[in-house]
Amino acid sequence: MNNIVDFTGLQIRLASPDEIKKWSHGQITKPETINYRTQKPEKDGLFCERIFGPTKDWECYCGKYKRVRFKGIVCDKCGVEVTLSRVRRERMGHIDLAAPVSHVWFFKGAPSKLSLLLDISPKALTSVIYFSKYLVMRINEEGREAAKQNILEQREAKLVEVRASFDKQIEELKDKGLVELKDLKKKIKVKDEFEMKAENLKVDTKQKIAQLREQMVLELAVTEEIYNKLESLVDRVRVNSLLADAEYGKLQEYNIADWVDAGMGSESLLTALQQINLDDLVATLKEDMNSNSEAKRIKATKRLQVARGLLDAKIRPEWMILRVLPVIPPDLRPMVQLSGGRFAASDLNDLYRRVINRNNRLKHLIDLGAPEIILRNEKRMLQEAVDSLIDSSQARSSRRSRAGKTLKSLSDMLRGKQGRFRQNLLGKRVDYSGRSVIVVGPELKLNQCGLPKDMALEMFKPFVLHELIKQDMAPNVKAAKAIIEKRQPEVYDILENITKKHPVLLNRAPTLHKLSIQAFWPKLIDGAAIRLHPVVCGGFNADFDGDQMAVHVPLTKKSIREAKKHMLPQYNLLKPSQGSPASIPDSKEMAIGVYYLTSLDENLAPYNMPFGTPAEAITAYQTGNVKVRQAVDVRLDTDSKELTRTTVGRILFNNILPAEWEFINKNLPRKEISALFHRAIKELEVKRVVKLIDAVKDIGFDYATVSGLSLKKTSDLDL
């Protein structure tokens, strides 16, 4: 595994407890990290050298073996292997958990894999894991029938007992009435008084008997209801169904719980998952897919996806319950000494420490034979500690540092932009690159960018050093570096010669499509900002309000060749998404200049003299006789005597267009400019299109300046 040079694929799958133990080099039993006096890792702790390897190359913990000649020897005194300290980046440890713990990835989140597999709602599953409800793991059907019979017998016995109890009380009440009547007869000699008192006594006795009979009816009804509920509870219990604490307590109270095997926490889930036969489950779910009920079909589809995935990957469902917790290598969760004797430790060490402390406490309580309610609480706390270690965002109570910040869990180290995958595995670090703010460079050609001299010198430094030594300006690299540091004039001459043959790549984040990275020929400039041709802004989606761009130097011949042949703006004139022109001068001041140049000023009277050639009209404009937007009559074709009503501006614009094109005698707003370049890209070769782009850009900027145009909010100028 450690010496893989090449591979064709990578599979991420669940590990069995045996596999985790195979990865491990030892069990961690103590939460300690480093001894505060010796500054060395504690034995059997989170940084133990016996488990993870030595902290110093070729030296054991006790110092008995030093130097490379003892390579591979395991010290008989301290148990540390004599090897390189870099093994502390590779070697893993493990923690044997005192109670099974559910992996938070598989019971939290959507969809919950454990929930789908066991066909239990995520909320109910969470209540089992955190010891709120019982999960029924096994049922004895014969025992269920016996329990029902037992309930019937208990009910009959209880009803008989209730009736007998009340009958006895009624008899006692009657006997008491007779005794009181005899006493009354002895005390009262007057007949009328005796009869009145006796009648009162009889009425009182009858009322008490009636009350007792009412109580008996009520008591019998309550008893009936209790046993009916018990019978209903026994009927509805199924495998993987849930029982509230009070419900299971009732079954135990009435001695009818021996037919059902129920439990709380991840132990019960482990038992339930071990009973699942994936082949049978897949077959059952395939049958459910043919159900008439749409809800049942959707549910079966989701469950089938999980079951089939486990089956294909040869993963047992119970592996989603952790019995052995892997501990990552110590150099991936380092502890660094700061000035003043203090230590800065990775958050993971605190999270692992909490797991070990709770695990050790639970083991101790189990050994002591602590009551079940105390063990339950400890198991729940262990579950929460492991949840916080794996994924603090999903945990019920996330661990916080002294500063009140939530500690970074293993999942936090993997997820997001700063995570291991995007930051370290996919993210690249590039030499010979720089970044700076961009500003407009209207003087540049399409394939050029303005590169600040100091930035260019830093990026092309190896090339300049090579040339300085090659031209015998410096005897060695050190001397050549000194020349560069002094910024001698010959350094910039060499740099200019290098950049003439070496394109650079400009990238603007976010890099969303291929036009976000383009190649340019660098033109050395003063200042600190990169200058960008205004036409290529569209492809980069750039503007000049503080945007930054990165510059990269292609190094290999292949990359330089690719930059020259495929990545220059002249080869990226069209948008890859729709094929419309991307890098054309049809916006901002360039469009204003072209619009101004080709427009006709209605307020100026047409010039009263015709011109024999376009050149004569331009000369008249240059001498100040004609305005650029004034209507003039010109003979465009020397072979014809026909005059064309146009403007000097349109003549100037047509002069930069291809000679084979017809004279364009109309105003050119933005859409017309875009259509013009659409035609040019179709009809002309690339070099001529590039020249046309630069010519239109230049003339647009020139005449935008000449126009002296300024815009306001209420402007109705349509470009």
Structural domain boundaries enclosing 170: 141-253
393, 438: one domain: no
Q: How confident is the model at residue 190 (pLDDT cuts 50, 70, 90)?
A: low
Decide which of 193, 220, 253 is a domain's last residue. Answer: 253
Q: What is the CATH number of the domain that holds 442?
A: 2.40.40.20
| H/E run at residue 550 | strand 548-552
Tell me how far apart the alpha carbons of residues 600 and 602 are, in angstroms, rounded to a whole number. 6
> What would the two tokens of residue 314 be?
């040869």
98, 145: one domain: no
% of the chain with per-residue pLDDT over 70: 96
162, 248: one domain: yes
Neighbours of 637 (CB within 10 A): 10
Query: Is residue 182 a part of any domain in this protein?
Result: yes
Name 648's Cβ contacts closer than 8 Å, sequence gap at least 6: 617, 618, 620, 621, 626, 627, 628, 629, 630, 632
Tell me how far apart the alpha carbons of residues 78 and 63 are, in angstroms, rounded to a whole number. 9
Decide if 383 contacts 102 (C-beta within 8 A): yes
Q: How confident is the model at residue 501 (pLDDT cuts 50, 70, 90)?
A: very high
Tell me how far apart the alpha carbons of residues 523 and 539 are, in angstroms, rounded to a whole number. 20
Query: Is residue 650 a part of any domain in this protein?
Result: yes
Give yes or no for residue 138 having a pLDDT over 80.
Answer: yes
Query: Is residue 549 a part of any domain in this protein?
Result: yes
- The pLDDT value given to residue 234: 85
46, 108: one domain: yes
477, 563: one domain: yes
- The pLDDT value given to residue 316: 93
Q: What is the DSSP string of 26-87?
A: EE------B-TTT-SBPTTSTT-HHHH--SSTTB-SSSSSBSGGGTTPBPTTT--B-S-GGG
490, 445: one domain: yes
Query: Is residue 2 a part of any domain in this protein?
Result: no
- The pLDDT value given to residue 210: 85
pTM metric for this prediction: 0.69
> What would the two tokens of residue 310 be?
């486990």
What is the C-alpha radius of gyration for the chain, rounded to an integer number of angstroms? Answer: 45
Decide if 62 contacts 387 (C-beta within 8 A): no
Query: Is residue 176 a part of any domain in this protein?
Result: yes
Q: How confident is the model at residue 479 (pLDDT cuts 50, 70, 90)?
A: very high
The torsion of the CA quartet 244, 247, 249, 252, rounded to 10 degrees, works out to -130
Least confident range of 123-137, 291-305, 415-429, 506-520? 415-429
User: For the residues 221-237, what does the mean pLDDT come to?
Assistant: 86
Query: Is residue 315 a part of any domain in this protein?
Result: no
Decide if 223 contacts 156 (C-beta within 8 A): no
Give yes or no for residue 42 having a pLDDT over 50.
Answer: yes
State pLDDT tens for residues 244-279.
888 888 888 888 888 888 889 999 999 999 989 999
Decide if 239 contacts 273 (C-beta within 8 A): no
515, 623: one domain: no
> What would the two tokens of residue 458 be?
């830093």
Q: How confident is the model at residue 404 (pLDDT cuts 50, 70, 90)?
A: low
Residue 99 sits at the vertex; the CA angle it makes with 95 and 103, to the nearest 5 degrees, is 75
Instruction: Mark out the alpha helices in 333-409 (DSSP H runs).
Output: 347-368, 372-390
Give yes or no for residue 191 having a pLDDT over 90.
Answer: no
Mean pLDDT of the chain: 89
Name 121's Cβ contacts closer than 8 Å, sequence gap at least 6: 115
List strand residue ranges (DSSP E) for 205-334, in order. Answer: 242-244, 260-263, 321-327
The torsion of the CA quartet 228, 234, 240, 241, rounded to 10 degrees, works out to 0
State pLDDT tens for residues 330-382.
999 988 877 777 777 888 999 999 999 999 999 999 999 999 999 999 999 99
- The pLDDT value given to residue 1: 45
Q: How confident is the model at residue 442 (pLDDT cuts 50, 70, 90)?
A: very high
Give yes or no for residue 586 having a pLDDT over 90.
Answer: no
Q: How confident is the model at residue 32 (pLDDT cuts 50, 70, 90)?
A: very high
438, 384: one domain: no
Three-state SS at 88 = helix
Decide which of 362, 381, 414 is a domain's last residue. Answer: 414
Query: Is residue 559 a part of any domain in this protein?
Result: yes
480, 381: one domain: no
State pLDDT tens for residues 598-619.
999 999 999 989 999 999 999 9
Q: What is the CATH number of the domain that holds 679?
A: 1.10.274.100
Q: Domain total for the chain?
A: 4
Least confident range of 122-136, 289-303, 389-403? 389-403
Q: What is the CATH number of the domain that holds 89?
A: 4.10.860.120
Decide which of 216, 236, 253 is a domain's last residue. Answer: 253
91, 176: one domain: no
List strand residue ranges (DSSP E) for 163-249, in order. Answer: 242-244
Query: Is residue 644 a part of any domain in this protein?
Result: yes
630, 666: one domain: yes
Give yes or no for residue 10 having a pLDDT over 80.
Answer: no
533, 613: one domain: no
| H/E run at residue 134 | strand 133-139
